Amino acid sequence: MFSYFKSLNRAGQISESATTTQLSEDYIYEVQKGDSLWKIAEKEYGDGFQWKKIAQENNIENPSIIEIGTQLTLTELEEAEEQEYFVQKGDNLWKIAVAQCGDGYMWSSITRQNNLVNPSVIHVGNVMKFRCD
User: Per residue in 108-117, pLDDT tens?
Assistant: 889 988 999 9
C-alpha–C-alpha distance, residues 18 and 2, integer Å: 11
Q: What is the mean pLDDT of the chain?
A: 80
Query: What is the predicted pLDDT for the residue at 26?
Result: 81
Q: Is 4 within 8 Å of 34 (Cβ atoms)?
A: no
Query: What is the predicted pLDDT for the residue at 105?
Result: 87
Structure pTM? 0.52
CATH of the domain at 99: 3.10.350.10
- Whether residues 42 and 88 share a domain: the answer is no
Q: What is the pLDDT of residues 66-121, one digit of tens each?
A: 999 999 999 887 776 888 999 999 999 999 999 998 889 889 889 988 999 999 99
- Whether residues 14 and 54 share a domain: the answer is yes
Question: Hey, which bits of 31-75 come out as E strands?
Answer: 71-75
- Whether residues 66 and 88 share a domain: the answer is no
Confidence of residue 35 (pLDDT cuts 50, 70, 90): very high
Query: What is the predicted pLDDT for the residue at 118?
Result: 93
| pLDDT higher than 80, residue 3 | no
Q: What is the pLDDT of residues 48-57, one digit of tens each?
A: 878 888 999 9
Phi, psi of 75, rounded to the nearest 5 degrees: -120, 160
* Residue ranges making up the domain that contains 48: 7-75
Total domain count, the chain: 2
- Whether residues 14 and 71 share a domain: the answer is yes
In a domain, 2, yes or no: no
- Whether residues 23 and 42 share a domain: the answer is yes
- Whether residues 88 and 71 share a domain: the answer is no
C-alpha–C-alpha distance, residues 30 and 69, integer Å: 5
- Whether residues 71 and 28 share a domain: the answer is yes
- Whether residues 102 and 48 share a domain: the answer is no
| pLDDT higher than 60, residue 126 | yes
- Whether residues 25 and 66 share a domain: the answer is yes
**CA dihedral angle for residue 107, residue 110, residue 115, residue 120, rounded to 10 degrees:** -30
- Whether residues 69 and 110 share a domain: the answer is no
- Whether residues 16 and 60 share a domain: the answer is yes
| pLDDT higher than 50, residue 63 | yes
